[in-house]
Every structure is written in C-alpha cells, then in structure tokens.
Amino acid sequence: MIANLMMYQRPQLVEAHARYWALIRKHLADAGMDSPETLSQDAEEFFVWKHSDLVLSQTCGMPYRTWLHDKVQLVGTPDYGLAGCPAGYYRSAIVVRADDARTDVSAFKDAVFAYNQTFSQSGYAAPFWHLLPGGFWFENRLHTEQHLESARAVAAGRADIASLDAVTWRNIEAFEPFARDLRVLTWTEPTPGLPLITALGNDANLIFEAVKGAIAELDAQDKSLLGIRGIVKISKQDYLNVRNPGNDSALN
C-alpha cells in the first residue's frame, strides 16, 4: 500500500500533513479499510499515482486528464477557500517582480517565463490559455521543476514572470521572505483543483467520507496551516473538459 499528499508539502506543513493523514487513517480503519501508517511524501509522483495499491494521493488536473483518468478513480477535490474560485476550484497567480514597471501581461512577450513542468495545469496550461487571446506564448522559458523555484527565479532575476498555483502562492506569501519582492500581475480563470485519487479497485466513496471526516476533525491551527476548508465532488468530465496546451504554431 502507498499514500501521499505531496502536492502542497513544504517543511512548515510536514507535521500538519501527518496529523491530517492520521485522522484519515482512523476514518478508513473505522470503515474497514487498511492504509499505510505513514505518507510516502518523497516518492516519485508518477510511481505513486500509477501504483496498483494506491490508497490515496493528490494529483494535478493536467496529468489526470492526460494520463491517469482511465487508470485511477477520483475521490474528491479539496476546497481551499480560494478567493475568486468556486468550491474545489483554483486559479493561477501570474507573478512578476514587485519593482517591474510593466503593468500588462502583453508587455512580457519577450520576457523569460519560469515554469515548473509542461504537464502542470497551473504552471503551464493555465497561462498558455490566458495568453492565447493576445496571440503569443513565451519563446524564452526556464524549466524549474517546482512552483517554489519558479517564484524564486523571478525574485532573483533569473526569470521575469511565472504562473503559480494559488494555494502555492498563498504558502509562499506566508513562509518565504522573498515573496515581498514579487507581485501578482494578473490571475487566470478558475479550473477544477488538484483532485484526490485512489486505485481502481478501491471504494472511492468510502475514502471520500474518510477525508471529509478527517477535515471536520482537524484542529483549527492545522486547518489554517493547510488552508483546507472541506472536500467536494467534481465530475470526471469537468476535468476532461479542460484543454491541454497546443504547440507554439497554434498561436500563429
């Protein structure tokens, strides 16, 4: 068995995630389902997501619709209470340096864009579609592998602009001193948030109820640290309806 909740993991949240998982395990056990004692937070993401004995993990919408939707079950989508988003949805903060005088995203056409992964909904797909009406996509791109490193690259001047998951941006503002060197230029449109998934043979409704019960029992401090308000069900089709980016030639 394997489980992890690594998508929003960071040092300040390790203990809160562990307590959250302990509550989920308790509810799973009460319902007769076994689960691993600890989260595999350092395991490679696709190894976890495709594991035949996956109990619970959180993925991104783009990997789900591209590779995972027929290999896993949706459990539900955590609601992080994000401003400007329906429950369970999220959006991307497009950030630039605070002292950058440019006020319109079109002025960054020739800038260096930092992104975590090409298969990231918030870091790549969302800004791609946000920029499409303007008729351009960034030709100068810096691959950083993580949202945190994209933000750090902009703050340090190695890049000029980045698109960050709204929950990650909220955590960066809370925990990273360099956040003061950044500002939000604009926001992308909301899309379904990062879903919880389980292996095909498991009872997804049982797991949904276990997560729901765990969130209800989280103490106020952990709930605030994790930024989690509840869990909702968003349909598989709603995830599949979100488009993947085209190639650069689609903008010509």
Which segments of the chain belong to CATH 3.40.190.10? 2-85+192-240, 92-189
What count of Cα atoms within 13 Å lies in the side-chain half-sphere of residue 203? 12
Q: How far apart are CA 46 and CA 24, in angstroms?
A: 22
- Identify the CATH number of the domain defined by range 2-85+192-240: 3.40.190.10
Q: How far apart are CA 89 and CA 13, in angstroms?
A: 21
Exposed / middle / buried, residue 249 (Cβ in 10 Å: 0-12, 13-18, 19+): exposed
Q: Residue 37: CB partners within 8 Å, gap ≥ 6?
A: 25
Edge to edge, what strands does the sheet with 54-58 contain?
A: 2-3, 54-58, 196-199, 72-79, 230-232
Low-confidence ranges of the chain (pLDDT < 50): 248-252
pLDDT tens sequence across 193-219: 999 999 999 999 999 999 999 999 999
Tokens of 9: 């993991």
Residue 46 identity: F
Tokens of 168: 């990650």
Tokens 């991104």: give the residue. Answer: 60
pTM for the whole structure: 0.95
pLDDT at 251: 46
pLDDT at 204: 98
Tokens 């989920």: give the residue. Answer: 24
Tokens 């340096």: give the residue. Answer: 97
Q: What is the SS3 assignment for the chain?
A: CEECCCCCCCHHHHHHHHHHHHHHHHHHHHCCCCCCCCCCCCCCHHHHHCCCCEEEEECCHHHHHHHHCCCEEEEEEEECCCCCCCCCEECEEEEEECCCCCCCHHHHCCCEEEECCCCCHHHHHHHHHHHHHHCCCCCEEEECCCHHHHHHHHHHCCCCEEEEEHHHHHHHHHHCHHHHHEEEEEECCCEECCCEEEECCCCHHHHHHHHHHHHHHCCHHHHHHHCCCEEECCCHHHHHCCCCCCCHHHHC
What count of Cα atoms within 13 Å lies in the side-chain half-sphere of residue 146? 11
pLDDT at 246: 75
- Identify the CATH number of the domain defined by range 92-189: 3.40.190.10
pLDDT at 249: 38
pLDDT at 71: 98
pLDDT at 4: 97
